[in-house]
Amino acid sequence: MSVTAPLGFRAAGIAAGIKAGGSRDLALVVNDGPNRAAAGVFTANRVKAAPVLWSQQVLRGGRLRAVVLNSGGANACTGPEGFQDTHATAEKVAEVIEDSAGEIAVCSTGLIGERLPMDDLLPGVEVAAAQLSRDGGLAAADAIRTTDTVSKISFKRGEGYMVGGMAKGAGMLAPGLATMLSVITTDADLTAEELDAVLRRATAQTFERLDTDGCMSTNDTVLLMSSGASGIKPDIAEFEQKVTEVCADLARQLLVDAEGASKAIAIEVVGAASEDDAVKVGRSVARSNLLKCAIHGEDPNWGRVLAAVGTTDAEFEPDRLNVAINGIWICRAGAVGDDRDKVDMRPRDVTITVDLSAGPHTATVHTTDLTADYVHENSAYSS
C-alpha cells in the first residue's frame, strides 16, 4: 500500500546500479491528479545536499507532479556539479513523464561527498517510469532503504479518503548521518497552504521528536502530496490527525529499526511550564551519552537524567524535580526517591518520566541506547 494507497498515485522502485550489489536504489512516485498541491519540510542543517536545495526551490510553487528518490549516494557536499546532477535528474523525469522539471522533487540518501553515477541513474529513471503502477508503493519503499533492515510503510483511512506514506532511516544509528526521507500521499483535496500547515504540525509532533544521537543530516526531507482523486475536501482537524498518525507510525518504525540499539527509550516530560520547555528537556536527556550508556547497561541512573535537565534553561527548581524510570519514582524532590531495585530494566521499551513541577505541559522525545554496536557500525563505514 504505502504511497499508492491513496487514489491518483503510481510508484515504482527499481535497481539502477547506483548501489553495488544490485538491490533496488531508485524510486519514483507520480501524482496523476487532478490536484497536485504539495508541501515539504527539510533539514535545518545549513549544509544542505543538492537535492534539498532543489526540492526547496520546487516546493515554493506549492505543486509536485512527481518525486524521484535514490539510495546509494547523498549528493551532499558535491559542489555546483552535484546540483547540476540533481537538476539533470529532475529534467530526465520530466522528459519521460512529459511534464515540467519545476514540479519534480528529488531526494537522495547515502554517502556524503561523492558524485552520483549519473550514467546509471538517468537510464534508471526511464526503467522506473516504465514500471510505474498502482501497486508500486512497496517497491518504492524498498528502493529508498540504505541500512534499513525493513521497508517502512503506513496508511490510514479518513472520511472518504486515504493517507499513505513510506520512509527510510534506521534511527540515527545508521551510518551516513542517518538521513530520514519520507513521502506521504493523500487523495483528499487540499491546497498547498493547508498541506504545509498540516505537515509542519504533524512532523513537529513526530519525526522531530525522534532524536537518537543528536546528529542532523544534510538530506532530511518529508514531502506531502495531494492528488485530490477522492474528490473529498476533508475536515482539516481530522486530516491533520491522520497525517500525524502516519508520521508517528513511520517514526516508530525508524526507532525500532535503529541498528546497534538494544533499547527504545521514551523520555516523557510532564509538569512543564510550556510545551517548548518539555521538548527542550526531553531532547537534552535524549542526547546524554552517559545516560544512554547507563540504559544500555540496564542501570536506572537518575543522576544522569538530572544532570541533563540541569543543562537546559527550562523553567524548574532543582529541588522540585521528580524522575520515574519504568513507573518507579526513584528521584523525588531532586533527591533519592523510591528504591531503585524496584525498577525493571529488562524490557526493550524504557520510559523515563521527568516531572518538572512547573506547569501543565508535556512532550515525549524518543531515543535509543548507546551501544558498542553503534560505535562499531559508525566507525567501520566509509573506510
The nearest distance, CB 304 to a second copy, in angstroms, is 7
Asked whether 105 and 67 are in contact (CB, 8 A), the reply is yes
Pick between residue 39 and residue 174 the one whose CB is nearest to a second copy: 174
The answer to whether 383 is a known ligand-binding residue is yes
The answer to whether 206 is a known ligand-binding residue is no
The answer to whether 168 is a known ligand-binding residue is yes
Q: Which residues bind a second copy (CB under 8 A)?
A: 44-48, 74, 76-82, 111-114, 172, 175, 177, 213-218, 287-290, 293-294, 296-299, 301-304, 306-312, 316, 318-319, 321, 331, 333-336, 370-372, 374-383
Comparing CA positions, the residue from 319, 330, 303 lying closest to residue 356 is 319
Catalytic residue among 4, 179, 185, 203: 179
The answer to whether 156 is a known ligand-binding residue is no
193 by Cβ neighbours in 10 Å (0-12 / 13-18 / 19+) ranks as exposed
Pick between residue 279 and residue 331 the one whose CB is nearest to a second copy: 331
Q: CB-based contacts of 236: which residues, under 8 Å, 6+ apart? A: 190, 194, 198
Q: Is the peptide bond before 34 cis (omega within 30 degrees of 0)?
A: yes
Residue 118 grid cell: 549519473
The nearest distance, CB 175 to a second copy, in angstroms, is 7
The nearest distance, CB 270 to a second copy, in angstroms, is 18
353 is catalytic: no
Pick between residue 35 and residue 353 the one whose CB is nearest to a second copy: 353
The nearest distance, CB 288 to a second copy, in angstroms, is 6
Pick between residue 256 and residue 293 the one whose CB is nearest to a second copy: 293
Backbone angles phi and psi of 127, in degrees to 5: -60, -45
DSSP secondary structure string for all residues of 43-78: ---SS--HHHHHHHHHHTTTB-SEEEEE-SB---S-
Asked whether 172 and 258 are in contact (CB, 8 A), the reply is yes
The answer to whether 179 is a known ligand-binding residue is yes
DSSP state of 166: E
Binding residues for substrate: 146, 168, 179, 259, 378, 383
Active-site positions?
179
Binding residues: 146, 168, 179, 259, 378, 383
